[in-house]
Amino acid sequence: MTNDDKTTIIMKTRYMQRMTLAGAIALTAGINTGCSSLFGQEGYFRDRGHDYLRADVIEPMKVPEGVESRSVEQLYVIPSEENIDLAITDEFEVPRPQPLSGNAFADKVKIQKLGQKRWILVSTEPSDVWPKVRNFLARNRLEVVFTDATNGIIETGWLQFKDDQERKDKYRIQIEQGVQPDNTEIHVLHMNVDRDIPGRGQVNWPAQSISAEREAWMLDELAATLATDVTGQATSLLAQTIGVEDKVKLTRDDGEPILNLDLDYTRAWATVGHAVQQQGFTLWEQDSDIGVYYVAYQSVGEEDEEEKDEEPGFFSSLFGSDEPEQVATSPYSLQQVLAHLQLDDTPANRAIFASISSDKSEPLQNVPGYLVVVRGLEDNIEIRIRDGYARPLDTRKAKELLNVIRRNLI
């Protein structure tokens, strides 16, 4: 190759490099120009956040003649005051946060006991419990001969226990709404008869189980199964009517707040007795014959203030104190308090305290505490709270104390 040829090749190479560089510069310029046209103030994807400032005001829409116009109204209208729990009769004050019930963090399934009664308490709705109980009976091959999903009743067929060949047994399972919201109670009733008695036809169920041991066996087995059941059974549509009505309601009787309990009297008396020993209440005395609890109450806020005023020193916090904790007491017995009630002569008071004979002319001095009065017939129990003289409390105070009792019912 001659020198002229080499020179020609070098010149062509340099020419091509210059052309490539010029093309790259032109391409870059075109991209930059394109970006500005896409994203700039005049570009397609410009910021339109302030366009509303330049918008024109148009006249309101007019409807044709003969057509009635309707103004825009609230979608969620504030209802009128109908709920007794929310009624405000005095100057409103923001209430303190209420303490959580002692049952708030309890296990989802547990066996509850009051006196001689035992039942299963499940922290869910009855419509969720119904299919789980049916599944328990099916898995254990317990024949079901009668169901009433509306009232939450399941009856088994006749069973034969291996350790008792002379008699046959039968169970009735009652699923119902609990006294607290979103709780379910499962009650078990057991009966047995001689093996030779025909097993068909109507069954006359006893008021309480014939065998407490047989009842306890079914309760324990059913509770254990429900506690470990993670299969996520579907909610029963048929059983959604169980527990439609609350068992506990806060209402009024001639302006006085009261609690209405849809329970039998024995259960109501026992559960109120449990409630007045929880969450600030102290039970001093009780009289089941006349249906009165004599109690004291100290709110959580009052306890906190006393603790601040009586804060122990450094050394006492290290070594503690030998002095026992002081519990508030009353200088009067319940019988003394009831014998000196200061009651207005009204039909309501005469009916509520008909069984109590008191001397109004000799009042006791500074009677502390409260009287929790339990009255009513089966499945219609009324709970009132009065001061130490059995006089009605301020409406707000009565509702506050009744709500504390309500949260601690079991």
Strands 256-261 and 281-287: what pairing? unpaired
**Is 270 part of any domain?**
yes
Identify the CA nearest to 338 among candidates 375, 378, 307, 293.
293
Identify the CA nearest to 151 among candidates 170, 173, 134.
173
Q: Which residue has the tokens 């049916």?
A: 134
Q: Stretch 73-96: mean pLDDT, rounded?
A: 57
- CATH classification at residue 351: 3.30.310.170
Transcribe 179-236 into DSSP letters.
SSTT-EEEEEEEEEEETTS---S-----SS-S-HHHHHHHHHHHHHHHHH--S-PPPP
**Is 99 part of any domain?**
no
Is there a contact between 121 and 103 (Cβ–Cβ < 8 Å)?
A: no
- State the CB neighbour count (10 A cutoff) for residue 351: 9
Same domain, 229 and 260: no
Res. 254 pLDDT band, cuts 50 70 90: confident
Range of the domain at 272: 248-309+328-407
Find residue 248's DSSP bridge partners. Answer: 261
Q: Stretch 329-351: mean pLDDT, rounded?
A: 90
Is the confidence at residue 106, as pLDDT, over 50? no
Is the confidence at residue 198, as pLDDT, over 50? yes
Same domain, 401 and 285: yes
**Is 290 part of any domain?**
yes
Take residue 257 and report the two structure tokens written for it.
Answer: 């707040």
Same domain, 254 and 370: yes
Res. 104 pLDDT band, cuts 50 70 90: very low
Is the confidence at residue 50, as pLDDT, over 80? no
- CATH classification at residue 168: 3.30.530.50
Same domain, 375 and 234: no
**Is 356 part of any domain?**
yes
Residue after which a domain boundary falls, among 241, 258, 293 = 241
Same domain, 152 and 252: no
Same domain, 228 and 264: no
- pLDDT for 248: 92
Counted residue by residue, the chain has a size of: 410
Q: What is the DSSP letter of 392?
A: B
H or E segment and range at residue 300: helix 300-309
Inter-helix orientation angle 395-407/265-275, to 10°: 100
Domain count for the chain, please give it: 2
Instruction: Calculate Rg over the CA atoms of the chain.
Output: 38
Res. 280 pLDDT band, cuts 50 70 90: very high
Inter-helix orientation angle 126-139/212-228, to 10°: 110
3-state secondary structure of 244: coil
